[in-house]
Structure 1
Amino acid sequence: MKITDIAALPVGENPHHVDARVAYDTEHAMAVVITLQPGEELKKHITPVDVFFYVLEGTGVVEIGDEEEVVGRDMLVESPAKIPHRWFNRSDTIFRVLVVKVPKPTKGTQIL
């Protein structure tokens, strides 16, 4: 059994310049916990694989393609491969989301 303390993981470098911690990384899948402070957002980007997001804490806005929705804790959002997407924290509290990429991408994320 392996148990990971997400809070103890280092913040990884990323093009969005936000708190992103790799929680799981194998040859088959990858999971990252992203924390957005009030007013922070991710740049619009495209991932080469399907992604799903599970909201852990707070309220945020997700934009996928031409759609934009407000989502909160315990909501799951699916984002198909190669569709532009991004996240916003327009609230006054922390917003945390688990990002799961399956299969693990072999190419990097494309910032738009």
Structure 2
Amino acid sequence: MVYKVGDVENLMKGPIDARRFYNSEKAIVAKITLQPGAVLEKHSSKEFALLFVLSGCVEVEIGDNVYDLEKDSLIEFPENILHSVTNKTSEVAEVLVVKIK
């Protein structure tokens, strides 16, 4: 089966566009677009997750650690750890998030 980002609605409003285009008992996949200055506030997830930067640059905070990621960078999020994603640049940033159940 083929899944397309454009086939699903945006889950958020404002400067962040989040589209969960795959959701099964094994994984969740979402594409998130962050406009300049956008902040995906601190939150945690019960699943292990990976974030891959498709375009632009983002700042990722995981617990007490801060990472600056650019295009083609990958970072992992442990379960139940607070994390946030911020676009501090003047360009749009796009990331792919994969949560493994």
Same fold (TM over 0.5): yes
The amino acid that maps onto 1:92 is S
Gaps in structure 2 of 5+ consecutive residues: none
Q: CA deviation at 1:99?
A: 0.7
SS class of match (1:96): strand
Separation in 2, partners of 1:26, 1:58: 28
Match 1:43 to one of 41, 45, 61: 41
Match 2:30 to one of 29, 32, 39: 32
Structure (1 or 2) with the greater strand fraction: 2
Equivalent positions of 1:1-112 (< 5 A) are: 2-13=1-12, 18-103=16-101
Identity of aligned pairs, percent?
35
Separation in 2, partners of 1:26, 1:92: 35
Task: Give the structure 2 partner of residue 110 of structure 1.
Answer: none
Separation in 2, partners of 1:17, 1:6: 17
Q: How many residue pairs are counted as aligned between the two chains?
A: 101
Gaps in structure 1 of 5+ consecutive residues: 104-112
SS class of match (1:39): coil
CA RMSD of aligned residues (A): 1.8
Task: Give the structure 2 partner of residue 107 of structure 1.
Answer: none
Separation in 2, partners of 1:6, 1:82: 26
Q: CA deviation at 1:27?
A: 1.3
Separation in 1, partners of 2:79, 2:12: 22
